Amino acid sequence: MPTTSTSTIQRQANASVANLTDYDAALLNFSWHAAADELLDTFADGSLNITYNCIDRHAEGDRADKTALIFEQSNGEHEQYTFRDLKKLTNQFSNVLADLSVKKGDRVFVFLPTIPERYIAFLGILKLGAVAGTMFAAFQEDALLDRLGDSEASVIVTSPELYPRIKNIQDKLPALNQIIIVGRGQYVIPAGKGIISYNDAMDAASESFEPAHMQNDEYSYMLYTSGTTGKPKGIVHAHYDILQAMVTTKYVLDLRDSDIYWCTADIGWVTGVVYGTLGVWGLGGTNVIYEGRFSPENWYDVLEKHHVSVWYSAPTAIRMLMASATNPKSYDLHNLRHLASVGEPLNPEAIWWGLDVFGLAFHDTWWQTELGAIAVTNLPALDIKPGSMGKPLPGIEVAILDDAGNVLPDGEQGNLALRASTVSSLMKTVWGNPVKFDSYFKGEWYISGDSAVRDSDGYYWFIGRTDDLINTSGERVGPFEVESALVEHPAVVEAGVIGKPDKLRGEIIKAFVVLQDGIEPDEDMKHTLQQHVKHHLAGHAYPREIDFIDHLPKTRSGKIMRRVLKAQELGLPTGDTSTLESY
């Protein structure tokens, strides 16, 4: 197995979670129907609504005055919202949208920094039955145009600081007719086409709203995610997908009513949507959100100040904490009870470090935007094999397949696949692209694009991607998007982009660039191109390394052979190059 460690870590002593104490029994007994009966509230007609399940039912019951949201601001102050507060605010926001004639199925996007209004808007959109899209605040004009254009969003919720990026592309977005601006503190609502002040509209809106009755497979949220070819694709989820979010928040993240929970992911990405919003509030939990930037001191302060007990984070952040001189033992973190990680391989050293400094092991969880919730994981009830992703969530059937779709025996590396019908929260469609949607499936199997191996104890071990997708600091970046941003610069003829292994970030983005004749291939040019990508595509998606080369390896049909670039970079054999035009 691909691991540096031989010892296992015994399951948590306090892993007393209901029916998953015994993994093997849970495998036999688990049923999605029973889970739905236990965790979901439906309306009398059998329909449901995510926001009703996350907010209204708690506000109408015993949890009305329980703190739902703790907002830790970057200036060290904080705000708290109860479930009752969030019911009122999401009702008002749904009414704001209804007054703008937004209807069920319309796409409404949220492009805000991490402030409570980001969550209120998101949940208000779902309450009305519109499709909620979220976008990372670091996105620049190219990334915004791709998403808003493809989805034909009619409304966007943004801030005075982020609005100029929308203004610059508004002419290319004929469907976008309303821009709701959320101001906090001192702010000025900018003048412009279709502008509405969030605060004014909320003040004028009624505090009551009847949540839309949604069928199980009616759309809820959409997230654009990178593939290896072409522009990002809109992965669309349904209202019923909250069920798997709740099941996994309960049984994998082990969330209990008394916990204070912090998922460090931004809601521009799927982890922030599913585990920073749906799962925790579906269960009526207290959720911390943090506006400030990452630093070990800032994060330990948040954990200490708010008595966080369940913490869901990511390997790059954990490695940065490990590398820092700041000692977590100098903080009072005794409330921490359960730790989990997602997004990239969790190296065994990170687990050993967690055990040393927190007395707790990080539990790895594996899933994808398309899957909508955790699918392979280290349940609290399982012993951990450091370096392994764990076992399938009870209810989900996982296998390793060869390229022809045959199930491979234990110990053999292949395609990590899931029986589609067993993944309750699997995406419902790819927006406007049924061909792409179909391409994920081989018969009854959903093919993840990851390669993995299963050991004889049934534990899965991640090997890598089977394609060119880049995972940098847990964020998924398509090489094509970065190449497109680079070739937009007048100095560039063409570019090939790969993920280069990196100890801290998992991978970094590396670009190979062919410059126009006469352009100096110097450090200034590298800096110029990095800034260009940061300002046109996104702050996180720029190439940290650039090499200037004379020509790119390509197939005869002109496709850039990224695997050859990668092999050359890593000093590995380049494999079959017979179809290459030049290399």
- The least CB distance from residue 133 to ligand PRX, in Å, is 15
- The least CB distance from residue 388 to ligand PRX, in Å, is 10
- In 3-state terms, what secondary structure has residue 569? helix
Nearer to ligand PRX, 178 or 244 (CB): 244
Nearer to ligand PRX, 276 or 284 (CB): 276
Nearer to ligand PRX, 463 or 580 (CB): 463
Is residue 157 within 8 A of residue 198, CB to CB? The reply is yes
- In 3-state terms, what secondary structure has residue 429? strand
Nearer to ligand PRX, 158 or 271 (CB): 271
* Binding residue (CB under 6 A) for ligand PRX from 26, 342, 511, 538: 342
Is residue 114 within 8 A of residue 267, CB to CB? The reply is yes
- The least CB distance from residue 114 to ligand PRX, in Å, is 17
* Binding residue (CB under 6 A) for ligand PRX from 343, 354, 395, 496: 343
Kindly state whether residue 465 participates in binding ligand PRX, applying the rule CB under 6 A: yes
Which bin fits 250, alpha (ψ -120 to 50), beta or left (φ > 0)?
Answer: alpha
Exposure string of 400-417, with b = 16+ CB inside 10 Å and e = fewer, is bbeeeeeeeeeeebbbbb
- The least CB distance from residue 390 to ligand PRX, in Å, is 9
Region from 137-145, 206-214, 361-369, 564-572 binding ligand PRX, contact rule CB under 6 A: 361-369
Kindly state whether residue 462 participates in binding ligand PRX, applying the rule CB under 6 A: yes
Task: With residue 446 as reference, give the H or E element that holds it.
Answer: strand 445-454
Which residue has the CB atom at the shortest distance from ligand PRX? Answer: 369
Nearer to ligand PRX, 102 or 447 (CB): 447
- The least CB distance from residue 33 to ligand PRX, in Å, is 25
Region from 71-79, 448-456, 527-535, 562-570 binding ligand PRX, contact rule CB under 6 A: 448-456
Residue with tokens 């594996």: 366
Q: Fill in the DSSP letter of residue 76.
A: S
Residue with tokens 């049984």: 251
- The least CB distance from residue 232 to ligand PRX, in Å, is 11
- Residues between 499 and 528 that touch ligand PRX (CB under 6 A): none
One character per residue 363-382, x = contact with ligand PRX (rule: CB under 6 A): -xxxxxx-------------
What's the Cα-to-Cα distance from 148 to each of 114, 132, 467, rounded to whole Å? 20, 12, 26
What's the Cα-to-Cα distance from 565 to each of 71, 506, 514, 562, rounded to whole Å? 45, 18, 13, 5
Q: How many residues bind ligand PRX (CB under 6 A)?
A: 21
- The least CB distance from residue 503 to ligand PRX, in Å, is 16
Nearer to ligand PRX, 259 or 364 (CB): 364
Nearer to ligand PRX, 465 or 535 (CB): 465
- The least CB distance from residue 138 to ligand PRX, in Å, is 15
Kindly state whether residue 150 participates in binding ligand PRX, applying the rule CB under 6 A: no
What's the Cα-to-Cα distance from 34 to each of 14, 39, 156, 191, rounded to whole Å? 24, 9, 38, 52
Give me the phi and psi of 366, to 5 degrees please.
Answer: -120, 135
Kindly state whether residue 345 participates in binding ligand PRX, applying the rule CB under 6 A: yes
Kindly give, in sequence order, each residue whose CB lies less than 8 Å from that of residue 72, ignoring residues fewer than 6 positions away. Answer: 78, 288, 289, 290, 291, 292, 302, 305, 306
The Cα 373–Cα 32 span in angstroms is: 14
Region from 13-21, 323-331, 419-427, 447-455 binding ligand PRX, contact rule CB under 6 A: 447-455
Exposure string of 126-138, with b = 16+ CB inside 10 Å and e = fewer, is bbbbbbbbbbbbb
The Cα 436–Cα 230 span in angstroms is: 11
Which residues of the chain form contacts with ligand PRX (CB under 6 A)? 225, 270-271, 342-345, 364-369, 389, 448-450, 462, 465, 471, 476
